[in-house]
């Protein structure tokens, strides 16, 4: 026969288990039907711990800004854009497939290939005044590829040569909304900003590539 103390302990244990189960249910994201679950761990690695996301993707209707056609941004495409390409969480689909291809071709045809090649060459050596001026011009360029290359040059100068000026510039850029998420991860040493496709990269891999 159980004593009152044993019964009280069992009741308290069942109560704690019930509370834990209720807490787990409350913490789970309630997803509507027909949606695609998001990888919240990957999103936190890309955008840092302080971000908001509903936890799922659903098809979104939009209107093309160029031709005016109605389109649907599928949940699969959203997952690829936010988690693989690491696009901004504030970005939305704005062009249909044909207009997007036309715009991409126009942008590539107007891209300054020689300037991009010059920015890549700057990564190898310790920066001087001319190199810094060229990177500053790249940071304010209209082409997003040039801006990414310029930010990458600053990150490599900081990692390879412990350049304090590059670190200070990265910290200044962290205050700008458009640069904040990725520059914040660079400063914490958890993200490498590569031109073109953005990839998550640990500091150890970056250091192995440098030395």
Number of domains in the chain: 2
Same domain, 65 and 131: no
| Beta pairing, strands 60-63 & 36-37 | unpaired
Element (H, E) at 70: strand 70-73
Confidence of residue 30 (pLDDT cuts 50, 70, 90): low
What's the pLDDT score for residue 72? Answer: 93
| Beta pairing, strands 70-73 & 60-63 | antiparallel
Same domain, 158 and 118: yes
CB neighbour list of residue 149: distance below 8 Å, 6 or more residues apart = 116, 119, 120, 138, 195
In a domain, 20, yes or no: no
Same domain, 52 and 91: yes
Least Cα distance to 155 among 193, 182, 118 occurs for 193
Confidence of residue 182 (pLDDT cuts 50, 70, 90): low
Interior/surface letters 149-171, b for 16+ CB within 10 angstroms, e for the rest:
bbbbbbbbbbbbeebeebbebbe
Same domain, 143 and 100: no
In a domain, 127, yes or no: yes
In a domain, 137, yes or no: yes
In a domain, 122, yes or no: yes
**Can you give the residue range of the structural domain that contains 59?**
36-107
In a domain, 174, yes or no: yes
Same domain, 103 and 164: no
In a domain, 12, yes or no: no
Task: Considering only residues 70 and 30, tell me which one the structure prediction assigns the higher pLDDT.
Answer: 70
In a domain, 2, yes or no: no
Same domain, 130 and 97: no
Q: What is the pLDDT of residues 41-87, one digit of tens each?
A: 888 887 777 777 888 899 999 999 988 899 999 999 999 988 888 78
Cα–Cα dist 119/49, whole Å: 32
What's the pLDDT score for residue 59? Answer: 92
Cα–Cα dist 66/41, whole Å: 35
Same domain, 135 and 196: yes
In a domain, 168, yes or no: yes
Same domain, 89 and 119: no
User: Residue 78: how many CB atoms within 10 A of its CB?
Assistant: 21
User: Model-level pTM greater than 0.85?
Assistant: no
């Amino acid at each position: 026969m159980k004593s009152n103390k044993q019964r009280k302990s069992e009741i308290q244990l069942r109560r704690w288990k019930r509370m834990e189960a209720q807490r787990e249910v409350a913490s789970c994201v309630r997803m509507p039907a027909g949606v695609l679950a998001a990888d919240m761990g990957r999103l936190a690695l890309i955008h840092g711990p302080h971000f908001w996301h509903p936890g799922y993707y659903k098809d979104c209707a939009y209107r093309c800004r160029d031709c005016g056609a109605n389109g649907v941004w599928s949940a699969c495409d959203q997952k690829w854009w936010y988690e693989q390409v690491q696009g901004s969480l504030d970005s939305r689909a704005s062009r249909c497939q044909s207009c997007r291809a036309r715009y991409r071709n126009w942008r590539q045809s107007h891209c300054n290939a020689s300037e991009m090649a010059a920015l890549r060459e700057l990564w190898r050596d310790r920066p001087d005044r001319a190199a810094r001026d060229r990177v500053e011009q790249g940071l304010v360029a209209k082409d997003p590829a040039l801006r990414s290359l310029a930010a990458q040059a600053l990150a490599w100068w900081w990692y390879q040569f412990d350049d304090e000026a590059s670190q200070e510039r990265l910290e200044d850029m962290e205050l700008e909304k458009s640069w904040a998420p990725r520059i914040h991860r660079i400063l914490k040493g958890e993200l490498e900003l590569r031109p073109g496709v953005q990839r998550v990269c640990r500091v150890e891999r970056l250091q192995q590539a440098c030395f």
